[in-house]
Amino acid sequence: MQSGYYAAAAGMVTQFNRLDTIANNLANVNTVGFKEDNLVVGDFMRIYQNKRDDLPNANQTKEGAAFINRTMTRAPKIVDAYTNHTVGTMAQTANPLDFALSNEGIFFAVKTPQGVRLTRDGSFTKNDEGVLVTKQGYEVLADEYLKTGKGKISFANQDSVIVSDKNGQIATNIPNSAKLTPNKKLLIAQPKDLSLLKKEDNGLYAFGDIKNITNVKESGSVQQGFVEKSNVNAVKMMTQLIETNRLVGMYQKAMSTQMDDMNRDAIEKLSKKA
């Protein structure tokens, strides 16, 4: 058995997974609120550091040495995946229904057919009933939702002025007047653990039970008339794309050497001995 061939094949599969992730990041470089995804590739040092205190045999035995040697021959693989939640660049739109969050780790909350979801895409609009919704038609939730289970944000036809403060408190004008009256307040949700968020389509995140989020009453981060652009660094992604393509080529060469060159050499030597 040529273990090097299988290690090279596993390494190539790992790089294919990296290519998928990089391609998805590049495809969303202009998607509002998108967060960059990354993969962690395991190697011997990582595996050993994680397992050295859990060896099934004492380090100073032949069995322990054999275990370490087997561990060293393990093929590379994806051992973890994570999302980079750093804040993207703010782009001014001057649209009063566009909102962005300038702090990391907080989200808008929206109501979907699958339940409440979180999003960083604050490019909202009004539906035919005057309710504040996402581009997909999901209701944007007010902060009272966590207490009452209800919390849509509605506007009247005569609400010609819509303003929001830094904490998401919305106000509208009194009809035929420049004076403002308070409306609902945006629910600014903070997950208890960002690593538990699961990405879904349309820039949404599932977070499990509603108890897994808290309402940030004074976030000081709501920016009206702005949207948050993707935090994907296109130059970095292109560099990673080139690097990954080169690694795929190297693994392919290693596989070819293992199966073709080494086998041919072995057959020639055996034939001479025969």
pLDDT in tens, 251-265: 888 777 777 666 666
pLDDT score of 91: 96
pLDDT confidence tier of residue 174, bands split at 50, 70 and 90: confident
Average pLDDT, rounded, for the chain: 85
The two three-digit tokens of residue 267, written as one number? 């057959």
For 195-210, the pLDDT digits (tens) are 889 999 999 999 999 9
- Confirm if 186 and 222 have CB atoms less than 8 A apart: yes
Distance CA 101, CA 108 (A): 8
**What sign has the CA pseudo-torsion 168, 132, 98, 86?**
positive
Any idea which of 13-22, 100-109, 226-235 has the lowest mean pLDDT?
13-22
Quick one: pLDDT band at residue 248, thresholds 50, 70, 90? confident
Q: Is the pLDDT of residue 190 over 90?
A: yes
Confidence band of 231 (pLDDT split at 50, 70, 90): very high
- Structure confidence at residue 158 (pLDDT): 82
CA 245 remoteness from chain centre: 23
Amino acid at 120: R
Q: For position 265, what pLDDT does the model report?
A: 64
Cβ-Cβ contacts under 8 Å for 181 (sequence gap 6 or more) = 171, 172, 173, 174
CA dist., res. 33 & res. 73, Å (int): 41
The band of 104, judged by pLDDT with boundaries at 50, 70 and 90, is very high
Distances (CA, A) of 210 to 171, 192, 242, 261: 27, 11, 42, 59
Q: Binning pLDDT at 50, 70 and 90, where does residue 218 land?
A: very high
pLDDT at 1: 47
Instruction: Point out which residues pair with 92 in neighbouring strands.
Output: 226
Tell me the per-residue pLDDT of 60-89, one tens digit each, with 9 for 90 and over.
Answer: 566 665 655 555 556 677 778 899 999 999
Q: Which tokens hold the place of 199? A: 């990405």
